[in-house]
Amino acid sequence: MNTTKTTHNRRSFLKTSLLSGGGMMLSVSWLSSFKSADKLQTLNLPEQSAMLNGYIQITADNVVKLLCPNPEFGQNVMTSLPMIVAEELDVDWKNVVVEMGPHDNTKLGAQFTGGSNSVRMYWKPLREAGAAARHLLRQAAAQTWNVPVEEVTTKAGVLSHANGKSANYGEMAGKAATLEVPKGLKLKAPKDFTIVRKSKKNVEGQKIITGKPLFGLDYRVDGMLIAMIQHPPAFGMKLKSFDALQTLKMPGIKEVFSLKLYEDGFEQGGFDTRTFNDLLVVVGKTTWEVMNARKKLLAQWEPVGDTKDVMAGRGGKREVVVPGGLESTSTQLEKMQELSQKPAQQLRKDGDPETAFQHAAQVIERTYNAPFLAHNCMEPMNFFAHVTDEKAVLAGPLQAPGWIEPTLSKILNLPADKIEIQMTRMGGGFGRRAYGHYLTEAALISRKAKAPVKLIYTREDDMTYGIYRPMYTATYRAALDANKNLIAFHVKGGGIPEHAIHANRFPAGAVENYLAEGWQIPSNITIGAFRAPRSNFNAAAEQSFLDEVAEAMGKDPIEFRLELLKRAKENPVGKNNEYDPDRYAGVLTLVRDKSGWNKPGNEKYNRGVAAYFCHNSYAAHVVDIVTRDGQPYVERVFSAMDCGIVINPDAATNMVQGAVVDGIGNAFYGALTHKNGAAEQSNFHNYRLIRHNEAPKSIDVHFVENDLDPTGLGEPPFPPVFGAVANALYKNKGKRFYNQPFQNEMDKRM
């Protein structure tokens, strides 16, 4: 991980320049401070943002071009980020052209899509960029018309003065480009927004519906070859030897070679995770030819044994032992069961939980389990690379070009300015494409093949050669006194290879005696961020457990949560509570009101509720299940979100609806299991994804209206879906489900 400059003092450098044809270009560089506790924990990002720079270009014929700094994977940043600039620039959205920016962390900032960061991170800088450009245009008009700048107004890209003079931005752009950039600009009050908070269509909508080549898999150049990797058949195995004779005889095949991704001792950054280090590569002319020829490889594999990875990190270099062995899900579950009984690391303690549990009138204890999950981005991993001795050009789907560039620079022995990474639209990301190993693989293959190459993972490669959501477990205990008051709460979480516990989150702060503990089991199965890392398990387990506790206390589940939040607000227990009780309660009351919770008219439904805070935002859902063809079916969902100011409401609604569908699908069906190190699922015939007929008929999304700076939306709605589904399922089936995926537990397959 590389941090460029960091500072807590906000300074900005704005630079104007003349565009050919007489327009203006405004470059804005910021040294800005921003802090994100959540992101630091879940994604190991640097503590402050790097330099940030936004581009606005206005041509003499009044075309306004805005660059999107962050890669797009379906969360609609290519529309929402430019909307933020356009708002302060006060331009007619119809005249705006959006382009994906180049990878340039110095000029365009962190350029990382993930952690629900895009809008949160760019909100202020992009507003300031827009405001600065608008001011320069007003100044240019003031000078031209010989009037004070304060008297020049703007409206939708037109400058005017009370004396009747008016001009569009394009006419003043050339002059504006010669002016000094002002200091201390005032930003609009939210009540004056005309673009932000008004739904705008996806700027790439027309290209998507006409099948334009937007994605990495669509990228091609003349003479480009196709490469595929044959990876070991199981975690814990490596290549011993191979015979490519038959493969090389197949039509279109150029060469077969083996490749070491990282040399021994290579210092890996946090996002350099790779699944297998020794790769067998087939290079040929077309995808189908390479796919077929690869099947003819005769490869011998052998156990890797324990290996050592060297990790670079903030605390300096450290060695991590990756255990050898061929792991199976059944034995992993046994091991987790065993470790859950042993002492664990204490993560937080308030009051005296041990005594409280000893004196409890009733103790409720439940254990929850969840499997590895494969991301299954619709577009499998792939990347284009053309590497020569002088430079490297790469193009494809990637969430964080700035994280892989230093790795490439070291491995290819090329300075960063000789590495060009183009960001294509991504066919989904969900955290998977934060790990750029497939890009490094493509680069090494291109260098060895001495040709432009596109590395393609088949669906089977993508699923069995993954960086999965870890396998988690957690045991929750609640102590009630004789009057059924909650007097103590204990969570002990574990996982392979990490636990999911966020010790300072709700209900920490709301219960007098509280204990959080964690333990972990190392593994050679590679894991990484998956939409709302850790939270996606916690919300499932904790929110199911709270439902059960409320029931034992004879309380309504929403009222019970609101009471706890009231306590956390008025008389918080302990320190470092991460959430804002008011915002948390806000989404609960909103979803209660919108769903008609406890109101007549909903008798046909088995209802479940859950709420969660993660990635700086708050989400609550009410899930309504009916029985359809003998099976529980989520027919209706109500969602309430608090993510501060919503930039693009319709697109935000789309994203929440998508998160709900994703959550229902993974709660019911998602699972990646292993036998002797080999993934037991390889394609969509045995890895079940939610389909049209299983999606709800309606998902009614509501946003808390406030003027808070945006706090992010891609991840927060996802985790509580699991809990709400579990709670509704209990009402539907009359029994609680503790093991994901629920469909397997219903069918007794786990």
Interface with other proteins by CB under 8 A: which residues?
Answer: 73-76, 199, 201-202, 204-206, 208-215, 217-218, 220, 226, 251, 286-289, 376-380, 425-430, 458-459, 650-651, 654-655, 657-662, 665, 683-685, 689-693, 695-699
Please say which residue, 245 or 378, places its beta carbon nearer to ligand FES.
378
**DSSP 8-state symbol, 323:** P
Please say which residue, 477 or 688, places its beta carbon nearer to other proteins.
688
User: Tokens 């939980």, residue?
Assistant: 353
Please say which residue, 414 or 651, places its beta carbon nearer to other proteins.
651
Burial of 462 (0-12, 13-18, 19+ CB in 10 A): buried
How many contiguous H segments (helices) and E segments (strands) does the chain have?
19, 31
Please say which residue, 206 or 598, places its beta carbon nearer to ligand FES.
206
Please say which residue, 149 or 378, places its beta carbon nearer to ligand FES.
378
For residues 253 and 387, the answer to whether their CB atoms sit within 8 Å is no
Burial of 211 (0-12, 13-18, 19+ CB in 10 A): exposed
Provide the strand spans (E) within 332-468. Answer: 345-350, 362-370, 382-387, 392-396, 419-423, 453-456
CA distance 395 to 398: 9
In the complex, minimum distance from the CB of residue 435 to ligand FES, in angstroms, rounded to a whole number: 19
One-letter amino acid for residue 32 of the chain: S
Q: Which tokens sit at 395?
A: 């193009």
Please say which residue, 333 or 434, places its beta carbon nearer to other proteins.
434
For residue 105, the partner it binds in ligand FES, other proteins, none, with Cβ less than 5 to 8 A by kind, is: none
The answer to whether 207 contacts ligand FES (rule: CB under 6 A) is no
For residue 370, the partner it binds in other proteins, ligand FES, none, with Cβ less than 5 to 8 A by kind, is: none
3-state secondary structure of 403: helix
Nearest to ligand FES by Cβ — which residue? 378
In the complex, minimum distance from the CB of residue 205 to ligand FES, in angstroms, rounded to a whole number: 12
741 cis-preceded (ω within 30 degrees of 0): yes
For residue 288, the partner it binds in ligand FES, other proteins, none, with Cβ less than 5 to 8 A by kind, is: other proteins
> What are the backbone dihedrals phi and psi of residue 245, each rounded to the nearest 5 degrees, phi first?
-55, -50
User: Tokens 């150029």, residue?
Assistant: 254
In the complex, minimum distance from the CB of residue 115 to other proteins, in angstroms, rounded to a whole number: 18
Other CB atoms within a 10 A radius of the CB of residue 60 amount to 18
In the complex, minimum distance from the CB of residue 70 to ligand FES, in angstroms, rounded to a whole number: 17
For residues 96 and 42, the answer to whether their CB atoms sit within 8 Å is no
In the complex, minimum distance from the CB of residue 224 to other proteins, in angstroms, rounded to a whole number: 10
For residue 82, the partner it binds in ligand FES, other proteins, none, with Cβ less than 5 to 8 A by kind, is: none
Nearest Cα neighbor of 266 from 320, 325, 324, 323 is 320
In the complex, minimum distance from the CB of residue 658 to ligand FES, in angstroms, rounded to a whole number: 8
The answer to whether 74 contacts ligand FES (rule: CB under 6 A) is yes
Strand partners, 410: none
| Strand 419-423 with 392-396, pairing | parallel
Please say which residue, 74 or 371, places its beta carbon nearer to ligand FES.
74
3-state secondary structure of 180: coil
Strand partners, 597: none
> What are the backbone dihedrals phi and psi of residue 232, each rounded to the nearest 5 degrees, phi first?
-55, 155
In the complex, minimum distance from the CB of residue 519 to other proteins, in angstroms, rounded to a whole number: 33
Please say which residue, 233 or 658, places its beta carbon nearer to other proteins.
658
Burial of 471 (0-12, 13-18, 19+ CB in 10 A): buried
Please say which residue, 214 or 364, places its beta carbon nearer to other proteins.
214
CA distance 581 to 50: 31
For residue 596, the partner it binds in ligand FES, other proteins, none, with Cβ less than 5 to 8 A by kind, is: none
For residue 324, the partner it binds in other proteins, ligand FES, none, with Cβ less than 5 to 8 A by kind, is: none
Q: Which tokens sit at 345?
A: 């690391």
- Binding to ligand FES in span 390-429, by CB under 6 A: 428
**DSSP 8-state symbol, 4:** -
For residue 554, the partner it binds in other proteins, ligand FES, none, with Cβ less than 5 to 8 A by kind, is: none
For residue 204, the partner it binds in ligand FES, other proteins, none, with Cβ less than 5 to 8 A by kind, is: other proteins
**Helix-strand-coil split of the chain, %, nearest 5:** 30, 25, 40
In the complex, minimum distance from the CB of residue 428 to ligand FES, in angstroms, rounded to a whole number: 5
For residue 683, the partner it binds in other proteins, ligand FES, none, with Cβ less than 5 to 8 A by kind, is: other proteins
For residue 185, the partner it binds in other proteins, ligand FES, none, with Cβ less than 5 to 8 A by kind, is: none
Q: Binding string, 367-386, against ligand FES, x = CB under 6 A? A: -----------x--------
For residues 157 and 95, the answer to whether their CB atoms sit within 8 Å is yes
Element (H, E) at 287: helix 287-294
For residue 651, the partner it binds in other proteins, ligand FES, none, with Cβ less than 5 to 8 A by kind, is: other proteins
For residue 458, the partner it binds in other proteins, ligand FES, none, with Cβ less than 5 to 8 A by kind, is: other proteins
In the complex, minimum distance from the CB of residue 427 to other proteins, in angstroms, rounded to a whole number: 3
**DSSP 8-state symbol, 271:** T
Distances (CA, A) of 61 to 24, 134, 143, 272: 11, 17, 20, 46
Please say which residue, 493 or 714, places its beta carbon nearer to other proteins.
714
Rg, Å, the chain Cα set: 27
For residue 215, the partner it binds in ligand FES, other proteins, none, with Cβ less than 5 to 8 A by kind, is: other proteins
In the complex, minimum distance from the CB of residue 541 to other proteins, in angstroms, rounded to a whole number: 22
CA distance 414 to 391: 7
3-state secondary structure of 277: coil
Please say which residue, 56 or 660, places its beta carbon nearer to other proteins.
660
In the complex, minimum distance from the CB of residue 364 to other proteins, in angstroms, rounded to a whole number: 34
Please say which residue, 73 or 514, places its beta carbon nearer to other proteins.
73
CA distance 405 to 103: 10
CA 160 vs. chain centroid, Å, equals: 43
Please say which residue, 275 or 382, places its beta carbon nearer to other proteins.
382
Please say which residue, 270 or 428, places its beta carbon nearer to ligand FES.
428
For residue 642, the partner it binds in ligand FES, other proteins, none, with Cβ less than 5 to 8 A by kind, is: none
In the complex, minimum distance from the CB of residue 156 to other proteins, in angstroms, rounded to a whole number: 22
In the complex, minimum distance from the CB of residue 378 to ligand FES, in angstroms, rounded to a whole number: 4
Nearest Cα neighbor of 14 from 130, 186, 105, 111 is 130
Residues 6+ apart with CB under 8 A from 446: 385, 386, 387, 392, 452, 453
Applying CB under 6 A, what is the total number of residues that bind ligand FES?
3
In the complex, minimum distance from the CB of residue 699 to ligand FES, in angstroms, rounded to a whole number: 15
Please say which residue, 380 or 608, places its beta carbon nearer to ligand FES.
380
In the complex, minimum distance from the CB of residue 318 to ligand FES, in angstroms, rounded to a whole number: 38
CA distance 651 to 660: 14
Please say which residue, 71 or 581, places its beta carbon nearer to other proteins.
71
In the complex, minimum distance from the CB of residue 669 to other proteins, in angstroms, rounded to a whole number: 12
Q: Which residues here bind ligand FES, judged by CB under 6 A?
A: 74, 378, 428
